[in-house]
Structure 1
């Protein structure tokens, strides 16, 4: 993209030589920052363009005989994604944990590590991600969502890229995850103990997330009791007086216990009203939802707001949207992996609880299909199987990862195999397998 723009500028008659030079300099800066990125052809793209990508099952590596079928695909994730696209597959959830591009040998482009001092470090990373996210967008169902773990190194650029591919109107949230604590004491400035999970919908009007219990049972503001506690729970007092959009039907006189007349705000007319209309207020009196209190010769009237019923005396669970501040420690992920494989062989694996949280956002669906094409240690599969065990769900998981340093064979596959078949943890305790699962092993290949 940058090179073609430079050529156009060089041959444009509408610019002076100085203007051309200034524009080219600005393009160079923009491309180094990743705001303009090169869509250079990777070696795998050449093969994908000349051959037919395919998935070949390695049947001898199949784990389990009955239950929910999951897949592990060994190969470059661009290759694996292309295979899934060609098969017209679709997914409810995509979760990925791509390389953060910190410059510490965590990201390869065209088979070479991208160093911190590489002028085009950001441009290369964005180019790499763009190709994969474009296919991910096609694979996502219309009511689905994608979740991408990232840190400060590429967060801003990834947000811009996702706005372009998924549409800024489909941005859902930037979840801030506390990923560690008690560390960073040697930080020169500020100890950073968090990263992010960017979430985008395929079509936000079709996305419906669950809500979480507001925790009314333990909320200290519900501190009063009355004879209705068994059915209604405790309550707090809420002022019936209200200042908002004015309505004549909410502006009427209330008779206090001593027979005096009360008006909202102490006077008839705007802007004051009551929260409830006359009929609703009379219902509140008859059903013990109203409390009068006298303060310095003036009466105040309150509504009893109960824990477990609404203002129609019907049972309810108080629900609120999930919070964007979450806490799932990487140390937990490391402990989980070490417990299964009995060795430290993977840096910063995500904890299963993070993926279970993502799955819980779709709690109304227990037959979701999750795709993770930066599968790494296999946390997504493990979490999916744990969630199914907990609630009897039928969720499926498809993983894609390369086999560099035998990560697919010796980490991702071995973890899934042990979790299904059972294993002994690092303390020698036998852990029962999650037997109602099947893991099929595929290699991203090419048709002959």
Structure 2
């Protein structure tokens, strides 16, 4: 293998899989629930690969955080596989007796990870949960898709407590969460604010608190470990103070000589006498300014999967989903990623924990995060509506199975994927269907619909109008149509260039007053994977 490539993961069908184009699907117009201001929250039922291809034109490069909890390939038929991802069928369950199940899992995950990367903003991050069955292969996949240089770290989540007496060797009580950045030099990963301590001591310079020992302790703390860090500093009454360890042996200082002598001369070192007449030197901290340290990789404080199950039962009334993650865990991930105002995406949404975590966090800290949840369900049990969306509804209304709780502000739009979208399918669509397809694919942001107009059906956040001339597959725009569109744009107080979709036009676009978008070509261009 070439040195330029380095270590990579190879599997049967990798090259051909990289060339496969997934055919996008049409999304239903959608039913909204809750306050209209939250309609940008989206729950979509369907195969997540098909859904992502269909959402990509609108959300490419716009998602700040992705969390996924994909199948762990337990061998207990926890995912379906099919060689042709454009096949309309659900695929076959992959069981423990399938000798190629690890290869199938890789082929299942690879296109999805590649697609997810395209959704992320330049400062976006992705978290992926997994256990020891696929941790090694997932790590290589993540390195290949996101680049090893963009790896933020791997967290160990304490997912289970107790039980496991039937295990033959080691009881597994943890899972992993892999974290990667789209571009690590641009991500806004937060640090943890340290607890403030009172400045409870004072000297001639003013108040201070005792900081850490300036004697190095722990590994590498002996004199022979760093001989240049064994030297005396002036202590009380002119005595020389050496870095003597607590066990009485010779140690070493934590700071270099110049820095340590400067602190002593500035009165920023406190000397505490031991019983054996040697001294321990401490840093004097004279400020209560906030200090921040990195987050730790071991997660033990955010509940277990059993807690996630208990919380879900309180909402839904029974155990309706296996091993849901606790809400507090997902809230924590969103917080440390520094996402206050952006899109949180979960394409293995399951019971909807990510949606609940997003809404609760917004309610607690005033954030303006939105979510996109995608779930297909299992075979005939497409529980995206009956579980994923239903859970979010109950969180918003406060109508839980255990009784009434405080409602949380929120809402969402529920959609399903339907038929494939190709040129002929688009040309057979009715006007309302094409408008919905344009809204799902056009890159103008924040389009407010204008349903009473004949042509101008929307106005973008930047003031630009967006229009459709359509009454069948032979539709074309004339100068008369254009004049009508200009009049509607004026009445709707649009600004800038009007974007007009039509099958053809008899008026040459000038790129200033209007731009022409040919149907179906422009829509298909935006849908290309």
TM-score, normalising length: structure 1: 0.75
1:74 and 2:45 are equivalent in the alignment: yes
- Match in the other structure for 2:341: 367
Find the residue that maps to 2:324 and give its secondary structure.
coil
Distance 1:278 1:381, change over 3 A: same
- Match in the other structure for 1:11: none
Find the residue that maps to 1:101 and give its secondary structure.
coil
Find the residue that maps to 1:164 and give its secondary structure.
helix
Distance 1:403 1:187, change over 3 A: closer
Distance 1:251 1:331, change over 3 A: closer
> What is the aligned-residue RMSD (CA, Å)?
3.4
Q: 1:99 aligns with which of 64, 71, 74?
A: 71
Query: Can you list the C-alpha shifts for 1:84-104, whole angstroms capped at 9, x where unaligned?
Result: 222253211110011111110
Aligned residues: 381
- Match in the other structure for 1:65: 36
Structure with greater helix share of residues: 1
Q: 1:135 aligns with which of 84, 90, 115?
A: 115
Query: Can you list the C-alpha shifts for 1:245-281, whole angstroms capped at 9, x where unaligned?
Result: 979xx98973x543x4637679xxx999546466543
- Match in the other structure for 2:287: 314
Distance 1:121 1:143, change over 3 A: same
- Match in the other structure for 1:398: 372
Distance 1:358 1:232, change over 3 A: farther
- Pairwise CA distance, 1:316: 2.4
Find the residue that maps to 1:415 and give its secondary structure.
helix
Distance 1:40 1:257 in 2: 72
Distance 1:389 1:233 in 2: 38
1:424 and 2:400 are equivalent in the alignment: yes
- Match in the other structure for 2:131: 151
Distance 1:295 1:275 in 2: 29
Q: 2:357 aligns with which of 367, 379, 383?
A: 383
Distance 1:57 1:336, change over 3 A: farther
Q: 2:267 aligns with which of 253, 273, 284?
A: 284
Ranges in structure 1 where 5+ consecutive residues have no aligned partner:
1-33
Q: Higher relative contact order by CA 8 Å / sep ≥ 6: 1 or 2?
A: 1
Distance 1:232 1:194 in 2: 45
Distance 2:143 2:276 in 1: 58
Q: Which runs of structure 2 are paired with 1:21-36 in the superposition (5 Å)?
A: 35-36=10-11
Distance 1:292 1:175, change over 3 A: closer
- Match in the other structure for 2:26: 54
TM-score, normalising length: structure 2: 0.65
Distance 1:245 1:140 in 2: 49
- Pairwise CA distance, 1:131: 0.7
Distance 1:279 1:182 in 2: 53
Ranges in structure 2 where 5+ consecutive residues have no aligned partner:
1-8, 83-90, 245-252, 426-529
- Match in the other structure for 2:333: 358
Q: Which runs of structure 2 are paired with 1:65-214 in the superposition (5 Å)?
A: 65-67=36-38, 69-89=40-60, 90-110=62-82, 111-214=91-194
Distance 2:75 2:369 in 1: 36
